[in-house]
Structure 1
């Protein structure tokens, strides 16, 4: 009962507008009172939990995202992809999906992708006939590729709180990410000409087009090399995910300062401060969640939850569906960090008992975040996409729900019921 009350307190505080970190602090205060826990011991255990080499990757990847946003890297990526595929039917929408995917393969965060890709592409999409409401919805969902495509901050947090291999969690979400990219591109192509008409860009002959592609490729090459270096280094055993984060941040800084020259000391300082603020918030959430998790584990709340669900639902498939629904609902109210560090560890024992591999569960949680983060009432990513696109959330909800119903939800169900989609690559690389 105390566990349910704690979840209720968290939801009420977050809906009331209390900052996420302090909402967790409120839940911790209730649990300390309810179970008469030793706060000094909890603080020591919480500190030891966040005193992790793996978590050093968090601020570095966050900083990489801000440096990409302000250092001109995102602009070159978008230009390259638009030149390559933007002139085909539905090409501009597909360009935004691909740009978000590549951006996510470097920065590992959705919010940076929304700000960077949206600022660059919403205007040109409108000029090509895309309604701003549809563009914002497509931006909100495609930006979540930063959670699925490694390196992913969400997967780092999942690995830390569930004590799994970071590289294995990275690899597990690659299959669902590819499936989501394909689904969004197909859905976008289907929408063009049926729900709105795309205006063709000026036609170029082969002599004009080839130099444009060449120049775009050369300008984008430093940016395109980043995901190859990062992922190749991790899976090739050259460096750890933490070292990869340091390489990514250093490379983004060098590219911004000396190659694209869009980065200066003032912008760099602003990026560092923004990254520090974001990281500080996440670390506070992690600290409180570790302490909450310690109390729940000591009081056997996850085991009691497993037994309760088992007595109510015996079919493993129905248990998977029920957990999926809960994850989506939780994602509608909480942000991706909260879902990952609180809800995921709570349900992990139930998933393992139901025959779900923890690494497979990581990709299920990531897919649920894609849907939840774009679903009202909270919908943090969708609201941010609307602010970037300068469009009302009321106009954007229906296109977003359509994309989630016909793309996001099927991808989540396939990920849930086809374990090999998530486990094939980790097994191939020897992580599981």
Structure 2
């Protein structure tokens, strides 16, 4: 019960506007008080938990995302995808979805994808007849592909706090990601012509003339090589995820400075500062979460929660549905980092008891974040997409709910009840 109270307190602190890191600190203070824990010992154990080689990948992938945004890499990717598929019916919306997926395969963050892809594509989408509210909703949902498609910062955090293989968690989320991409493209194609009319690219006024396919491919080749290098290196056994993060950051610098030449010293400095701020916040959250997790483990809270739920609900399928609902509700109030580092370890013993493989649970958590991060009242990604799209949340929320109800929710349910979607690739690669 105390574990659920702690999660509830965390949600309450976030709702009233307390910064995320200090919300975790408040929960830690509550647990230290009621359990009379030794704070000095907790701090030492928290520091030791942070002393991980895997976590070095976190700031490097965050930096890669910012460098892609400021170094012109994202723009070349969007131009390439638009030329290839943008002229078909619903092609412009499909271009945004695919661009977000490729961006996620390099940077691993949703916020960077919203800022980069949204800044480039919202305007042209409106010129092609897409309502700004719908375009912003599609941006919010598709940007979460950065969490599902490896390398994913969320999956790195999941692997660290649950002591799973990073590569296995990466591989597990690829199937759900591809399913989400297909679902979003089909839903977008269905929407065009029924809820709004798409203007032919040649007739859209004010749009720049698209480059030829050959020229767009040549321009985008350095950017397209990044996901091939990163994912090929990881799954080919050439380097670890941490080494892949270092390669990605170095390659993004080289491409931005010397190939595209959009990356200046000022932009590079700004990217480093932004990455440091983001990483600092996440590390502080991780420190507090490790200490919280240690206290909960010492008091056997996860095991007690498992026994309580198992007593109330005997059917494993109903347990999975209950956990899905809880994850979505938690995601509606907390950000993806908070859900991953607090809720995931809390429910891990219950999932194992119910016969769910830990790597499969990683995919379930990632899918729940896609829905929660775009669901009010907090909806951090959806609100950010609205800011980028310069549109009110009222014009965005209904299209977002439709996309989540008809695409994201079915993907989550399929991921939950068809384990092979998540486990096939990790088993094929020998990770599980």
Fold shared by both chains (TM-score > 0.5): yes
Deviation at 1:11, TM superposition (A): 1.2
Structure 2, gaps ≥5 residues long: 204-208
Aligned residue for 1:177? 177
For 2:87, the equivalent position in structure 1 comes to 87
TM-score (norm 2): 0.98
Q: TM-score, normalised by structure 1?
A: 0.98
The aligned residue for residue 55 of structure 1 is 55
Q: How many angstroms apart in 2 are the aligned matches of 1:378 and 1:210?
A: 38
| Matched residue SS, 1:355 | coil
Query: Matches of residues 104-143 of structure 1 in structure 2 within 5 Å?
Result: 104-143=104-143
Q: After superposition, what is the alpha-carbon deviation per residue over 1:7-65, rounded to whole angstroms, capped at 9, x for unaligned?
A: 22211110011000000000000100100000010000000001100000000000000
Separation in structure 1 between the aligned mates of residue 357 and residue 390 of structure 2, nearest angstrom: 42
CA distance in structure 2 between the partners assigned to 1:7 and 1:123 by the alignment: 40
Query: Do the aligned residues in 2 keep the contact of 1:352 with 1:358 (CA within 8 Å)?
Result: yes
Q: Deviations over 1:98-118 (max 9, x none)?
A: 000000000000000000000
How far, CA to CA, are the matches of 1:13 and 1:256 in structure 2? 40
Q: Could you say what secondary structure the match of 2:254 adopts? A: helix
Q: What's the offset of the Cα at 1:276?
A: 0.2
What do the CA deviations read for 1:308-335 (whole angstroms, capped 9, x no partner)?
Answer: 0001100000000000000000000000
State the distance in 2 between where 1:424 and 1:185 align.
Answer: 24
Contact 2:3 2:302 in 1 (8 A): no
Q: Which runs of 4+ in 1 moved over 6 A?
A: none
Change (3 A) 1:95 1:211: closer
- How many positions carry a matched residue from both structures? 427
Aligned equivalents of 1:330, 1:24: Cα separation in 2:
14
Counterparts of 1:190-269 in structure 2 under 5 Å? 190-202=190-202, 212-269=212-269
Contact 1:2 1:34 in 2 (8 A): no
Q: Aligned to 2:188, what secondary structure does the other structure show?
A: helix
Aligned to 1:299: 299
* Aligned mates of 2:201, 2:23 — CA distance in 1: 49
**Retained in 1: the 8 A contact 2:78–2:95?**
yes
Query: Does structure 1 residue 378 correspond to structure 2 residue 375?
Result: no
CA shift at 1:166, angstroms? 0.1
Displacement, 1:201? Answer: 1.2
Secondary structure at 1:8 match in 2: helix
Residues 106 and 230 of structure 1 are in contact (CA less than 8 Å); yes or no, is this contact kept in structure 2? yes
2:21 maps to which residue? Answer: 21
Q: Secondary structure at the match of 2:396?
A: helix
User: Residues 109 and 181 from structure 1, CA distance in 2 versus in 1: closer, same or farther, beyond 3 angstroms?
Assistant: same
**1:302-360 per-position Cα deviation (integer Å, ceiling 9, x unaligned):** 00000000011000000000000000000000000000000000000000010000000
State the Cα distance separating 1:71 from its structure 2 match: 0.2
Q: Is the 2:83–2:211 contact (alpha carbons within 8 Å) kept by the matching residues of 1?
A: no
Q: CA deviation at 1:177?
A: 0.2
Q: Which residue of 2 aligns with 1:78?
A: 78
* Counterpart-to-counterpart distance in 2, 1:8 and 1:211: 52
Instruction: Give, in whole Å, the separation in 1 of the partners of 2:168 and 2:363.
Output: 10
Q: Does structure 1 retain, via aligned residues, the 8 Å contact 2:148–2:174?
A: yes
Equivalent residue for 2:272? Answer: 272
Deviations 1:128-160 (A, max 9, x none): 000000000000000000000000000000000
Q: Quick one: distance in 1 between partners of 2:60 and 2:11?
A: 30
Q: Secondary structure at the match of 1:247?
A: helix
Could you tell me which residue of structure 1 aligns to residue 324 of structure 2?
324
C-alpha distance in structure 2 between counterparts of 1:107 and 1:121, whole Å: 18
The whole-number CA distance in structure 2 between the counterparts of 1:342 and 1:131 is 37
CA RMSD, Structure 1 to Structure 2 (Å): 1.0
Hey, what does 1:355 align to over in structure 2? 355
